[in-house]
Amino acid sequence: MKLHMQILIALGLGIKRNWHIFLGIILGIMFGAFLHVNSHPAILAVLTFIGQVFIRLIQMVVIPLVISAIVIGITSVGDNKQLSKFGTKMVVYYGIITVMAVSIGAALAMLMKPGLGAARFITENAAGEVQASVATAMAQQQGNIGQLFLDFLPSNPFHSLAVGNMVSIIVFVVILAIALARVGDVNRPVVSFFESIFAATMKITDWIMLLAAPGVFALTASAVSSFGGEIFASISKYLAVLIIGFALQLFVVYPLFLKFFSRISAATLYSAVAEAMMVAFGTASSSATLPLTIACCEKRGISHKIASFVLPLGATLNMDGTALLQTVAVIFLAQAYGVVLTPFLIIQICVLAIIASSTCAGIPGAGLITIALILNGMGLSPEQLVAGFAFLFTIERITDMMRTLVNVTSDTVVAAAIADNEGEINYELFNNPEAYEDITN
Ligand code: ASP
């Protein structure tokens, strides 16, 4: 309880420091609710435009930022052993957090049974038929996962860059950066080049953040205005499961994780990264929030080496909030359609959710689309899938905002824990919220 109070107070302080963004969220919710009741297409169009301007500007710096951050991060780690130590630790930490997320999602969904209440709202289908096709669909799933991993490997990195395929960009850049680290001093021109690019993209991020409050206001308002109000009551149990799950991740799992694996208090970390958390909520995009996530961590003393290595990979691969949602959503639909959820099937859903979430890009809506990977395995008919998706889409945006906040927070939790373990954190900066004000600009 005491820890939770500390976290809330620290979050409050972080929010106070970035009160204008918080105000953007609150006013956005209020104005969005107003627009939901009183439709004003012209105002909505203006809000959507402002929101898009903000998102596009911030997305504009993401690819150069990711590439330069990874190159600098990996080449500055230098020696082989340290790199594999960081890499292994990162995968293990992200893994622990995501396993916790799917376990919480599955436990809550099985306990609260949100799907049962929704059954009559989704097209009723023959449960027996569903059962029969589960096994076949599971077998097909194997092939799909293989293809998915194949798609990670870019046959043409420039094509991946052009279409913004983050996972394959990252695969290429990590390999390139490891090679650069191996070739010794001859890498200096390239590394210096990326150091300049990184510094410039951070500067651009500072400028774009001047638009954070109106941008987040516009995005929140247009999201809230588009809620399917009528369906809200029927889906409220599903939403409640998600909110409880996300809250458990934020207020129980991460604090315990930090307590167990580091000397960092979640309260201090949350106060440091509150700005990134709020922008994650507003933009519903881990990738778009990445420049700010890195800025928050570095400005509060997490070394460049760790932040630029762990955060870009986390923003693309670590999606524990998404995995939690996917687990709950699939169990929700299974309950609605009368699929018998055996322990084996639940474990299968959890494993697939971990895979599906880590393959999804850090952009709005990606998590719901990749749910298809898990749903295929449930053996639902195309009609059921369409009806189920349509149902979940009614509150997609708000759940996206929440799961993205969770995704981004866990990236910083893992970065902070590794920085602490490796002596890569400046505690004077980290423990002093005022320091943040001094070093901005
Ligand atoms: N929007 C999420 C993110 O960027 C991904 C998702 O759709 O779940 O983190």
Give residue-wise pLDDT tens across range 24-55: 888 888 888 888 777 788 888 888 888 888 87
71-97 burial string, b = 16+ CB within 10 Å, else e? bbbbbbbeeeeebeebbebbeebbebb
Tell which atom from ligand 1 comes closest to the C-alpha of 325: 8
Q: Which of 12-21, 251-260, 274-283, 413-422 has the lowest mean pLDDT?
A: 12-21
Higher pLDDT, 129 or 331: 331
Q: Coil, strand, or helix at residue 425?
A: strand
Task: Assign 301 a pLDDT band (cuts: 50, 70, 90).
Answer: confident
User: What does the pLDDT read at residue 74?
Assistant: 84
- Above 50 in pLDDT, residue 166? yes
Residues 6 or more apart from 174 whose CB is under 8 A from it?
A: 70, 74, 313
Q: What pLDDT is recorded for position 47?
A: 87
State in Å: Cα 287 to ligand 1 middle.
9
For residue 121, which amino acid is it? F
Q: At what angle do helices 366-376 and 320-337 cross, to 10 degrees?
A: 50
Question: Once rounded to an integer, what is the mean pLDDT over residues 281-291?
Answer: 88
**368 vs 341, higher pLDDT:** 341
pLDDT category, 246, cuts 50, 70, 90? Answer: very high
Which residue lies with its CA nearest to atom 8 of ligand 1?
A: 367
CA angle 57/398/50 to nearest 5° reads 30
Judged by average pLDDT, the poorest of 74-83, 119-128, 313-322, 333-342 is 119-128
- 245 pLDDT band, cuts 50/70/90, is very high
Domain coordinates of the chain in residue numbers?
2-435
Could you identify the atom of ligand 1 that is nearest to the CA of residue 321?
A: 8
Cα(104) to centroid of ligand 1, in Å?
19
The preferred substitution site among 286, 292, 330, 357 for testing ligand 1, maximizing ligand atoms within 8 Å of CB, is 286
What's the gap in Å between 286 CA and the centre of ligand 1?
6
Q: Which atom of ligand 1 is nearest to the CA of 369?
A: 7
The mean pLDDT value for 288-310 works out to: 88
DSSP summary character for residue 228:
-
Minimum mean pLDDT among 157-166, 191-200, 298-307, 383-392: which range? 383-392
8-37 average pLDDT score: 76
Q: How far is the CA of 50 from the centre of ligand 1 (A)?
A: 21
Residue whose structure tokens are 């029927």? 234
Which pLDDT score, from 0 to 100, does residue 374 have?
Answer: 79
| Percent of all residues in the chain with a pLDDT value above 70, rounded to a whole number | 81
Q: Is the pLDDT of residue 439 over 50?
A: no
pLDDT above 50 for 141? no
Report the chain's C-alpha Rg in angstroms.
22
**What is the architecture of the domain spanning 2-435?**
Orthogonal Bundle (1.10)
Kindly give the distance from the C-alpha atom of residue 186 to the centroid of ligand 1, in angstroms, as a whole number. Answer: 38
79-118 pLDDT, tens digit each: 777 778 888 999 999 999 999 999 999 999 999 988 886 6
User: What was the pLDDT predicted at 340?
Assistant: 81
**Lowest mean pLDDT across 212-216, 264-268, 346-350, 404-408:** 212-216
pLDDT at 172 over 60: yes
Task: Tell me the angle at which helices 286-299 and 266-283 cross, rounded to the nearest 10 degrees.
Answer: 150
Distance CA 317, CA 283 (A): 18
pLDDT at 15: 67
Strand intervals (E) in 132-238: none
pLDDT at residue 145 tops 60: yes
Q: How many whole angstroms from 59 Cα to the centroid of ligand 1?
A: 14
Average pLDDT value for residue range 164-171: 80
**Minimum-distance ligand 1 atom for the alpha carbon of 322:** 8
Output the CA 365–ligand 1 centroid distance in Å: 6
Substitution candidate for ligand 1 out of 249, 313, 407 with most atoms within 8 A of CB: 407
Residue 302 DSSP SS3: strand
Q: Which residue has the higher pLDDT, 103 or 206?
A: 103
Kindly give the distance from the C-alpha atom of residue 270 to the centroid of ligand 1, in angstroms, as a whole number.
20
Mean pLDDT for the chain overall: 81
Who has greater pLDDT, 176 or 161?
Answer: 176
For residue 49, which of 194, 215, 278 has the smallest C-alpha distance? 215
* Cα 127 from Cα 124, distance rounded (Å): 9
Residues with CB under 6 A from ligand 1: 284-286, 319, 322, 360, 362-367, 400, 403-404, 407
Beta bridge mates, 113: none
380 pLDDT more than 60: yes
Q: 314 CA to middle of ligand 1, Å? A: 12
With beta carbons less than 8 A apart as the criterion, state whether 313 and 295 touch: no
Please choose from 327, 403, 410 the residue to mutate so as to test ligand 1's pocket, defined by most ligand atoms within 8 A of CB.
403
Looking at the CA of residue 288, tell me the nearest atom of ligand 1.
4
Mean pLDDT of 397-422: 93
Distance CA 341, CA 65 (A): 43
> Within a 13 Å sphere around the CA of 12, how many CA atoms are in the beta-carbon half?
6
